[in-house]
Amino acid sequence: MRNTVIALAMATAAVFAACTKKTKVEPCTESTATVSEADSIALRNFIEQNNIDATYDSRGFYYRVHTAGTGKKPGQCAVIVTDYTGRLANGNVFDSRTNLTMMVRDLIPGFRMAVPLFEEGSEYSIYLPPSLGYGNNDNGSIPGGSILIFKIKLNSITQEIK
């Protein structure tokens, strides 16, 4: 009986220790991901072959504004609420959400670079090369090396954490 009580006490202590373990918090700095020449060429070819009217950002992605917003722009430590649909270059949807709350610093590099360009209320599309998305690694239904296309509506900025 005494061994059972000791074992239960140790198990309980382990559970509470795990719950209070501190996790590393990413800093609120802009993504420093870089785009390979091959990724840059592939994305440019995709944009040209599909006659997409988009603006090139020197960090290696393209964007297209559908509706300009009038609110404030989020920073890297912003908590935002968005509607978005993510597609592969072949048009297959891999994710679609509405009123999703997320922190900018927790997003893939291309999202982190693009979102601060737009004001609340903006609707836009971003075209990301693999190196600003998931790279050459498969991620769920997203094959490695995929060009990613996101249509995004920035509904609101709920918080700017310092």
Residue 9 located in a structural domain: no
Residue-range definition of the domain harbouring residue 106: 25-160
- Return d(Cα 39, Cα 21) in angstroms, integer: 39
Question: Does residue 15 belong to any structural domain of this protein?
Answer: no
CB 116 within 8 A of CB 74: yes
Tell me if 144 is assigned to some domain: yes
Closest CA to 141 of 108, 96, 94, 107: 94
pTM assigned to the model? 0.81
114 falls in which pLDDT band (50, 70, 90)?
very high
Q: Which one is predicted more confidently, 69 or 21?
A: 69
Does 53 fall in a domain?
yes
Instruction: Tell me what pLDDT residue 31 has.
Output: 74
Q: Structural domain tally of the chain?
A: 1
Q: How many helices (H) and strands (E) does the chain have?
A: 3, 6
Q: What CATH code is carried by the domain that includes residue 73?
A: 3.10.50.40
Establish if 33 belongs to a structural domain: yes
Instruction: Judge whether 4 lies within some domain.
Output: no
Q: How far apart are CA 15 and CA 20, in angstroms?
A: 9
What's the pLDDT tens digit per position in 10-32?
Answer: 333 333 344 444 445 556 777 77
Quick check: is 98 in a domain? yes
